[in-house]
Chains A and B, each alone.
Chain A
């Protein structure tokens, strides 16, 4: 069962007097992966932030399950997990505290899965270590652990927006993450991501921002 998840119509965005994209339209059905490609500065991050409802300086329409983002953000935010460039963890909190905060403010995540998520990203020994004492890669893993906290039952209707998710993690971590994305997509989840890496996932739709 594939439903129309995202519908983008005539999207226009400019930054600092430079047009990033115009007349951009595409659709995304649930259970698919969309990889956004483009040179540095082509507007990949801006597009992803628009899809999340974080960047408001656009014209055009973004619809999530038929709800226009400009009027109804809640519908999207119930289903969204966004991994951006920023660390998105508090330095003065432990890994567990950070993740339980996430589970509280983003109820689609399950607090019972925190431990298994930490195991999945290889940080089970670091659960109660303050993030300021971790390496950059480890902090990144704490942030990525959120992707392992989404219960399987919530996969359908949910959307992951991942901006360069593979940066700052080692080869093993990349493989694990890729595996997780694959599992998620096969069970009905949808992903929009940017990456410079070639994905091993076969059914990837491409969106090129360069032309």
Chain B
């Protein structure tokens, strides 16, 4: 069971490494969207500091969202997806490996880049570790839940916008707890409850989402 899991994970990471230019795209998107807020609203430091937790979380969420479209696309088109599904090893582990690879190549870099953007938005420095921590806990949930929508729409030509429609409502709880933890941290309030809930959502999505991803992929190759 684990053999297929590692094989899929290794393959996905190797593919991302061979096309490392593509890894930059969500990060650049993240930086650019964050840049829009001071330009569109106000560059005043105290104002931006107030806005920062929400802006950073929303931008990270959108960046993770945009990369979902391509998650299964090329595998679907070149036929390796159906070969994965023909494996006698469980499709559940395959789905988990794919979602995990997606997080390692988008969510994780986003979380690591976030402190730089926090600086640009004048987020108080004591809140920065919490920001990174919430992103580390929250973005895998985004990848696992998002992979379901990506799997559902992979066979359609109009994936992009449709995925957003399916996924944004499901992302709301993560956004609420992630952003408000950072908010609390700026005010010096405790954040452990938020982190615990983000962790609970993470566990739930890691355990349950692969079932839905695998079922959706089987449905998608059936067309």
A23 within 8 A of B: no
Cross-chain contact B86 with A102 (CB below 8 angstroms): no
Whether the Cβ atoms of B222 and A104 lie closer than 8 Å is no
Q: How far is the CB of A56 from chain B (nearest CB, A)?
A: 5
**Contacting residues of chain A (49-66) with chain B, CB-CB under 8 angstroms:** 52-57
Contact B86 A57 (CB under 8 A): no
List of A residues within 8 angstroms of B7 by Cβ? 101, 104-105
A residues 86-111 in Cβ contact with B at 8 Å: 86-93, 97, 101-102, 104-108
* Interface pair A92/B86, CB less than 8 Å apart: no
**Which residues of A are interface residues toward B (Cβ below 8 A)?**
52-57, 74, 77-78, 80, 82, 84-93, 97, 101-102, 104-108, 130
Chain B residue with the shortest CB-CB distance to A143? B79
How would residues 1 to 35 of chain B score, 1 for a CB under 8 Å from any chain A CB and 0 otherwise?
A: 00110111001001100110000000000000000
Contacts of B77 in A (CB 8 A): 86
Interface string of B70-110 (1 = CB under 8 A from A): 00000001111011111111000010000000000000000
Give every chain B residue within 8 A of A56 (Cβ-Cβ).
218-219, 222
Question: Taking the complex as formed, is B221 at the interface, i.e. its CB lies under 8 A from any CB of chain A?
Answer: yes
Q: List 7 A-B contacts (CB under 8 A).
A: A82-B82, A87-B79, A90-B80, A101-B7, A106-B86, A106-B88, A130-B18
- Known contacts: A88-B78, A90-B80. The answer to whether A55 contacts B86 by CB under 8 A is no
- Contact residue range for chain B? 20 to 34
Which secondary structure dominates where chain A touches chain B?
loop
In the complex, chain B residues whose CB is within 8 Å of the CB of A87: 78-79
Contact B14 A54 (CB under 8 A): no
Which residue of chain A has its CB nearest to the CB of B4? A105
**In the assembled complex, which residues on chain A have CB atoms less than 8 Å from the CB atom of B19?**
92
The answer to whether residues A89 and B78 also contact, given A102-B83, A105-B83, A105-B84 and a CB cut-off of 8 A, is yes
Contact B88 A107 (CB under 8 A): yes
Q: For the complex, give the distance between the alpha carbons of A92 and B11 in Å.
A: 10
* Least CB distance, A146 to chain B, in whole angstroms: 9
Query: Across the interface, which residues of A come within 8 angstroms of B6, CB to CB?
Result: 104
Minimum-distance CB pairs A-B, first 7:
A86-B79, A104-B7, A88-B79, A77-B88, A105-B87, A78-B88, A92-B18
A57, A82, A97, A105: the one within 8 Å of B8 (CB): A105
